[in-house]
Structure 1
Amino acid sequence: ELSTCGCSRARRPAELPRDWLWGGCGDNLEYGYRFSREFVDAREREQTVLKGSHEHLLQQMNIHNNEAGRRIVSDLADVQCKCHGVSGSCSMKTCWLQLADFRKVGDALKEKYDSAAAMKLNTRGKLVQMHSKFNPPTSHDLVYVEPSPDYCLKNQSTGSLGTVGRLCNKTSEGMDGCELMCCGRGYDQYKAQIVERCHCKFHWCCYVKCKRCTKIVDQFVCK
């Protein structure tokens, strides 16, 4: 039980209209930041590793990425407001600070993941960028010290199942598209028979009854 985790004490934003109330019980970002740093980083900070070793490199990477994650969550927090007044007139508003939803945070982290910087240890045991021609990562950026495995091919040591035999979307330009999913190997097209619910009707009271329809669709599978 987190007895010391009260409401947010964040200052009223300067851009908030004067007749709007700053209150409610906003998310306590400061407490959450401190608690997550103590809890999530504990394993890394309590672990004794040899300076300059591969374990030390991984430790420094994890500490950096943990901090980047916390900062991203804090940066995405935004002001939320609720209207008050007779018959929804919204003559008064109460506003508070609220964390972003998980989807928004996840999308931001995915963007950071896609642009993560390769790092190594210098002679003093500090993380430095492997390729100096790029801008150095900030405390809001993610870093890595080992390249990702080739997920296109099956690899038992990493648990990757590869993409051979995976269904793909011929019309998509995203990660589920055949061009990306099949890693340039091409794909096979075939007809498949699927059964789905159809002609659904609501019956009083209270259930929905559907028929089962069969149709033939085109499916695409990675070679």
Structure 2
Amino acid sequence: MTCLRTHSKSTILDHMHLKCKCHGLSGSCEVKTCWWAQPDFRAIGDYLKDKYDSASEMVVEKHRESRGWVETLRAKYALFKPPTERDLVYYENSPNFCEPNPETGSFGTRDRTCNVTSHGIDGCDLLCCGRGHNTRTEKRKEKCHCIFHWCCYVSCQECVRIYDVHTCK
């Protein structure tokens, strides 16, 4: 979805917290220095992701007023609670990045390497957009059993390792 308003600045300000440090002998706190600290990046990311997942779909309505044509946004589904000033809203669906699209610059996800054990965005279920994945076995030569010789070189053996590589259909 294409989000209309994000309030990321106010989100960061809302999550600012006071940090203090004591100065003095053995941490006696004779002098205390405090400052406003930014929130943890992960906390802000999780907060914005929750907002994104619960964004409200809107409809653009045009109507005539004394100053001319005016566009306003109305919630598409009246059964849901109307969005507040702090909610994310959108009126256009996001492009489908599963398929190639020269307009958006998306190459699609066919032949992309995916992680078969992950449930995240790199996982085959999500990344392959429900199309499934192929698995092939690759043999790779790698350096192994390396030994550091004093002074000053490293000697290694060459090992062949076998990997399963998963790619989107």
Q: TM-score range by the shorter chain?
A: 0.7 to 0.9
1:182 partnered with 2:101: no
1:78 partnered with 2:24: no
Secondary structure at the residue paired with 1:136?
coil
Count of residue pairs the alignment pairs up: 158
Q: 1:160 aligns with which of 103, 106, 118?
A: 106
Deviation by residue 1:91-135 (Cα, 9 ceiling, x = unmatched) = 224321112254443343233222221122344533221222222
Normalising by structure 2, what TM-score? 0.75
For 1:112 and 1:166, locate their aligned partners in 2 and report how far apart those are by CA, in whole Å.
Answer: 29
- 2:115 touches 2:122 (CA, 8 Å); kept in 1? yes
Unmatched runs of 5 consecutive residues or more in structure 1: 1-57
Partner residue of 2:138?
A: 192
Query: Counterpart of 2:105 in structure 1: which amino acid?
Result: G
- 2:60 touches 2:91 (CA, 8 Å); kept in 1? no
Q: Which has the higher strand share?
A: 2
> How far 1:185 moved relative to its partner?
0.9
Structure 1 residues 192, 82: CA separation in 2 closer, same or farther (over 3 Å shift)?
Answer: farther
For 2:140 and 2:47, locate their aligned partners in 1 and report how far apart those are by CA, in whole Å.
Answer: 36
Structure 1 residues 112, 198: CA separation in 2 closer, same or farther (over 3 Å shift)?
Answer: farther
Which structure has the greater CA radius of gyration? 2
Structure 1 residues 198, 94: CA separation in 2 closer, same or farther (over 3 Å shift)?
Answer: farther
- 1:119 touches 1:145 (CA, 8 Å); kept in 2? yes
Query: Counterpart of 1:130 in structure 2: which amino acid?
Result: K
> How far 1:176 moved relative to its partner?
1.2
For 1:78 and 1:181, locate their aligned partners in 2 and report how far apart those are by CA, in whole Å.
Answer: 37
Matches within 5 A, 1:47-58: none
Structure 1 residues 200, 129: CA separation in 2 closer, same or farther (over 3 Å shift)?
Answer: farther
For 2:153 and 2:21, locate their aligned partners in 1 and report how far apart those are by CA, in whole Å.
Answer: 36
Partner residue of 1:151?
A: 97
1:91 partnered with 2:37: no
RMSD over equivalenced CA pairs, Å: 3.0
Structure 1 residues 84, 167: CA separation in 2 closer, same or farther (over 3 Å shift)?
Answer: same
Partner residue of 1:171?
A: 117
Q: Which has the higher contact order (CA 8 A, sep 6+)?
A: 2
> How far 1:196 moved relative to its partner?
5.1
Query: Counterpart of 2:27 in structure 1: which amino acid?
Result: C
Q: Which has the higher helix share?
A: 1
Runs of 4+ in 1 over 6 A off after TM superposition: 201-205
> How far 1:80 moved relative to its partner?
1.8
For 1:135 and 1:108, locate their aligned partners in 2 and report how far apart those are by CA, in whole Å.
Answer: 20
